[in-house]
Structure 1
Amino acid sequence: MSCAGLTSIPEAAGFRRSPQEVMRLARMGCTHPTRLSFLRQLLRRFETEAWRFDRPVWDIDAQGVGRALYRAIGPLRTYSLVVFAHDLPPEARSDRVIATAWDATFALFDGTPTPDDLDRLAANVPVQEAGRISPRELSLSRANRSVRLFDHVVARLSNGQQPEPSMLLETGYLMRTTAVYGSGKFGAADRETIATRPELSAPFQAEMLSVWLTRAFTVDLVDHLAQARGGDRAVRLARDLRRGLGVGNSTGLGMAPFLIRHPVLLNNWMLAREEALARVRAQHSVGQKDLRGLQMALHDAATNAALWESGHPIQQAKLADLRHSLDQIETHVARVWDRSVPYPWDALWRWGEATLPIEGQEALLAAMLEPHGNLIDGLGDCMDANEDAYFAIDGSMPVADLRAVLQRDYAWALGVDYTAREHAGRFWYVSQDKLEPRLGDRNEDPGAERELPLDIWRQAAGLWQTLTDFPDHTPVAQVLRAYPEHRPALRRAQITARHPFAEIRDNLIAADMLPIDLLRCKLAFFGATRFDPRSDRWVRISLFQGAPYPDEIEEGMAHA
């Protein structure tokens, strides 16, 4: 693996897992956040670069209506979260993407907005998709209160009491976002305009910053409303309790195709994580500090797993696996693990592979990475991608070489009967109402004629079949001249030849395909916890739960 400023560790290559093992939906759907997750990268940067944070505007009334401004001030640039708080009737509150009103709306501004900027945003941000923002804004988002917990916290604080810790831990957030838009959507700045900035070069850093500052706003809002209601008897939310609060998020199918449409980016995410695991497995010893770090990570994971609930039967089974696995791992580390053998971390990993279900294996991976920041954190610099650089097709490639790539990387899919219902029961399309991806049943739902080209493996099989008509020495440009419809499949094959983790090694239009596996993988790279599917197509999660707040970063209390 290579990227600017990163020294490779050749010995680690022998410990890397194969794409055929890693890139299966069953395993991707068990992904856990790690210290390479994007929100962890953001918080580490704030701490190491001594960023400062303030709240220069707080114009919120006693009913919680008004505007506020939060600033993140770095060594080179400032970013501002502009907040609009609203008085939303209960009947108007909805997490669905078709909602038209929210408890709070937000925009992340590039710099410090002027009063004119705030007025412009006030006319557009509260209506979200119905308005337009400008390239001075990096993201647009909205959030709704978790009403029962929100009201409980305000009531208790206003009476001079702290809220019930069990209620905070059960829900885990005061507000949940229903969308965080960036990368040019609704007029926001294009990704290319900020990608070269060090603080935003890692994926989704602007969006993570917006959500993190939103979290600070949610706590400030309950403190403010409690003081307005209770006056002198009101108290502020205790620091230890607020640490356990994150920002909730409701996410649906609109996010799922992202991993399919960005093969180089997906490769870089997965390869960075796999390189990190390989580097840890290649270590020759276990220091006391590393052992304590592993044990602390396992303890934290077990605490989180005990509080993590879901009503979905698939996730309930995974949670049972996770809790049992963490008990096994903690016992093995404390009583059995022989740390005197060569490559003791590899021995621990191999025990996990032989003993644990997939959910437990992926939890072990996250815990093993945790104590090794000095060894692996630099891999975060390798997780972005310039996918335009790999868009061009090499027309001079001989058909023989293309066949070899297809046989190596697409072999399982080449003989599948895609006329059978079980292999092509789903189709992806774009909703005309919301312009977002949706999933249909090919045998029951209309619209299959407008199918999105996300049937990667069916396309590869079609290309493979067409190649039987061409001699080995034929340049693939001649294939495309005769069959231009194979251009996307050929492009992806050439990308995968150079990026081994670019393709998900499962049929994405199969009747039994679970979109929540795609969602969990992507959200884990964000740093999401408490993954709670509400169906096979949408989930609730929590972001930044347990993370420091801006004042704690400044006071040196962060441990990202």
Structure 2
Amino acid sequence: MEPHAQTEIARRDPATVMRLSRLGSLHQCRLSFMRQLTRRMADENWSFSRPAFEIDDKGVGHAVYTAQGPDRAYSLVAFAHDLPADQRSDRVIAEAWDATFALFDGIPTPEDIDRLSQNVPLQEAGRVSETELSLSRANRSVRLWTHVVDRLAAGQQPDLEQIYQVGYLMRTTAVYGSGKFGAADREKTADRDEVSGPFQIEMLSVYLTRVFVRDLVQYMAQVKGGDQTSALDPEIARWLGIGNSTGLGMAPFIVNHPVLFNNWIMAREEAISRVRSVETAAEKDARVFRDVFARSKQSIAWWHSEHPIQVEKLAALKDDLNSIGAFLATDDLTQDHPWDRIIRWSETALSEEGQELLASLILEPYGDVVDGLSSCMADTNAAAQVIDGTVPVSGVRALIRNSFDWALDLDWNDPENCTRAWYVSEEKLEPRLGERFEEPIADYEQPLAPARDAALAFKALQEWPDDAPIAEFLLRHPEHRHTVRRAQISRVAPYGEIHDNTIGANVMPIDMLRAKLSFFGATHFDPRSDRWVRICMYAGAPYPDELNTANADLWVYPEVAQ
């Protein structure tokens, strides 16, 4: 491969990248987990089948969808239910759903399906085994579901505008993996090439769920309309993704997994650095960028939210699109480090939402430079969790200052800086964020305030001699072990720490949710409060029967009518 770059533009500083407002403005990119999966399935020529679809006229029953890769098969076992309207809820504490799913490791036998039928519909109240890799559930978007069924049953196609505005017929309220409720631990599949990357099991489950939802809505229309029923136009079906409602349960993940989150951010920052380092760009690469920019404008036109913060960000983003368009009108993007120039221009000309959209878009022409970084995004460094007790106190102080210099001078006794407290609910064992001075939760606080804890540890370390081994300090102060561990982890994970206060009065948990979901490849973030968000997954993606190497990647950007 001919190198694209001769000089290297450094990766952006973690102090810039790891602010919550910026993390809450990230967009999907070539390294997003959904796109990694569709590229792989197309490159490896996976085959797909539907060995069972046993659904009755009330929409109750089960179906099986099998994905066969080069070495192994994975099967989604889906159960459809007749859910009364008063039981339909996006809350994680719901007890019934329109559909429930398990991703089975291999091809299930009738006995497996019978066992799953007694457990999967119960979700938390049931139990699965290590032959199941994920457990999930979904509810209908009732208005759009009814519209699509009625239109198809009447021999018509659904209204495209409604498809674009909602984007999905069902939304998941949880996709559990990695050992929850008896499912297989991550270690069982971590050494399998096809699912070794982060969340590939969950992304495969959602990809197959989307096929089931398409087939089920077509079947229910057929039940209602009989012979006059229309087949759903594949072009319309392609813009039906899978929705997702995500709440606070996801937010602590990026705090609790600093090495993993670092690997995601660092891979993206390295990709941005490599592309910015391109000295001269080929005209074909400039054309690819202009094309995906035009297509992204269409996607953003479909992006709606009623949350005041996102409404404001979307308004700024639409202004940013106009500014980018004006920049492109006067620049051919081929000479004099074009991608570095446009990124440097964006830093003062655009909002953070626009800056991060642009940072994702410049990667699109350079799959040969960027895509290999996906192999670096899993966490395989178990040794990073082991505290090295021989490091001197001075070394740990320096590491803490490097990651948390902004936090060391904050007044942590000021209620504004410690208004919130993270805890785990007794009922659902799910993370919650409460008001420290209004609720009796302080005694149950989870260690999800690394900045405050770093400041406390740093203060305690000030009283120790520089050359004392940190092990001696920890023998006296074991309460600071997690901070010392995180400080040492920062040596291999410079992007592992959020550079903001996660318990302050102004913290926006949705910023943490969006950061994680952007790496999934989610689009159309629609916060419903500061604590939960709806998104869309796989909208625009080819279904298994149409997946090929030509359409496996840029599907996230809608084609613009000429």
Give the TM-score taking structure 2 as reference length: 0.96
Distance 1:50 1:368, change over 3 A: same
3-state secondary structure, aligned to 2:398 = helix
CA offsets per residue over residues 340-369 of structure 1, 9 Å max, x none? 542121111111112111111001011111
Distance 1:339 1:348 in 2: 9
| Contact persistence 1:516–1:538 (CA under 8 A) | yes
Q: How does 1:10-49 map to 2 (within 5 A)?
A: 14-49=9-44
> In the alignment, what sits opposite 1:364?
358
Return the letter of the residue paired with 1:540. Answer: R
| Contact persistence 2:278–2:337 (CA under 8 A) | yes
> In the alignment, what sits opposite 1:470?
464
3-state secondary structure, aligned to 1:339 = coil
Distance 1:521 1:164 in 2: 32
* Equivalent of 2:240 in 242, 245, 250: 245
**What is the root-mean-square deviation in Å for CA atoms of aligned residues?**
1.6
Shift, 1:277, TM fit: 0.3
3-state secondary structure, aligned to 2:92 = coil
Q: Which moved more, 1:226-235 or 1:522-531?
A: 226-235
| Contact persistence 1:12–1:281 (CA under 8 A) | no
Q: Which moved more, 1:223-232 or 1:91-100?
A: 223-232
> In the alignment, what sits opposite 2:488?
494
> In the alignment, what sits opposite 1:390?
384
Shift, 1:145, TM fit: 0.6
Report how many aligned residue pairs link the two structures: 554
Return the letter of the residue paired with 2:352. Answer: I
Distance 1:548 1:205 in 2: 17
Return the letter of the residue paired with 1:154. Answer: V
3-state secondary structure, aligned to 1:497 = coil
Q: Which moved more, 1:319-328 or 1:118-127?
A: 319-328
* Equivalent of 1:57 in 34, 45, 52: 52
Shift, 1:482, TM fit: 1.4
Matched, 1:429 2:429: no
> In the alignment, what sits opposite 1:330?
325
Identity %: 55
Matched, 1:512 2:500: no
CA offsets per residue over residues 217-253 of structure 1, 9 Å max, x none? 1111111111222122111110110111100001100
| Contact persistence 2:7–2:279 (CA under 8 A) | no
| Contact persistence 1:398–1:476 (CA under 8 A) | yes
Distance 1:429 1:281 in 2: 42
| Contact persistence 2:20–2:500 (CA under 8 A) | yes
> In the alignment, what sits opposite 2:537?
543
Q: How does 1:183-194 map to 2 (within 5 A)?
A: 183-194=178-189
| Contact persistence 2:35–2:553 (CA under 8 A) | no
Shift, 1:559, TM fit: 3.7
Matched, 1:413 2:400: no
CA offsets per residue over residues 381-403 of structure 1, 9 Å max, x none? 00000353211111111112122
> In the alignment, what sits opposite 1:451?
445
| Contact persistence 1:161–1:235 (CA under 8 A) | yes
Distance 1:559 1:424 in 2: 43
Distance 1:144 1:286 in 2: 46
* Equivalent of 1:174 in 169, 190, 212: 169
Shift, 1:404, TM fit: 1.8
| Contact persistence 1:30–1:517 (CA under 8 A) | yes
3-state secondary structure, aligned to 1:68 = strand
Distance 1:426 1:548 in 2: 43
Distance 1:534 1:245, change over 3 A: same
CA offsets per residue over residues 157-204 of structure 1, 9 Å max, x none? 111100111111111000000110000000000001101101111100
| Contact persistence 1:552–1:558 (CA under 8 A) | no
Shift, 1:13, TM fit: 5.0
Shift, 1:336, TM fit: 1.7
Distance 2:131 2:311 in 1: 43
Distance 2:264 2:153 in 1: 45
Distance 1:159 1:250, change over 3 A: same
| Contact persistence 2:129–2:184 (CA under 8 A) | yes
3-state secondary structure, aligned to 2:547 = helix
Distance 1:449 1:69, change over 3 A: same
Which ranges in structure 2 are unaligned for 5 or more consecutive residues?
A: 555-562
Distance 1:447 1:8, change over 3 A: farther
Return the letter of the residue paired with 1:470. Answer: W
Return the letter of the residue paired with 2:174. Answer: A
> In the alignment, what sits opposite 2:528?
534
| Contact persistence 1:227–1:234 (CA under 8 A) | yes
Shift, 1:7, TM fit: 13
* Equivalent of 2:140 in 138, 145, 149: 145
> In the alignment, what sits opposite 2:67?
72
| Contact persistence 2:4–2:279 (CA under 8 A) | no
CA offsets per residue over residues 415-443 of structure 1, 9 Å max, x none? 11111111100000000000010000011
Distance 1:557 1:73 in 2: 19
Shift, 1:304, TM fit: 1.2
3-state secondary structure, aligned to 2:426 = coil
> In the alignment, what sits opposite 2:80?
85
| Contact persistence 1:51–1:554 (CA under 8 A) | no
Distance 1:500 1:10, change over 3 A: farther
Distance 1:559 1:28, change over 3 A: closer
Q: How does 1:207-226 map to 2 (within 5 A)?
A: 207-226=202-221
| Contact persistence 2:75–2:107 (CA under 8 A) | yes
3-state secondary structure, aligned to 1:34 = coil
| Contact persistence 1:272–1:383 (CA under 8 A) | yes
Distance 1:299 1:9 in 2: 24
Give the TM-score taking structure 1 as reference length: 0.97
* Equivalent of 2:478 in 479, 484, 491: 484
3-state secondary structure, aligned to 1:551 = coil
Distance 2:96 2:404 in 1: 46
Matched, 1:234 2:202: no
Return the letter of the residue paired with 1:475. Answer: P
| Contact persistence 2:283–2:334 (CA under 8 A) | no
Shift, 1:35, TM fit: 1.1
Distance 2:514 2:241 in 1: 17
Shift, 1:406, TM fit: 2.1
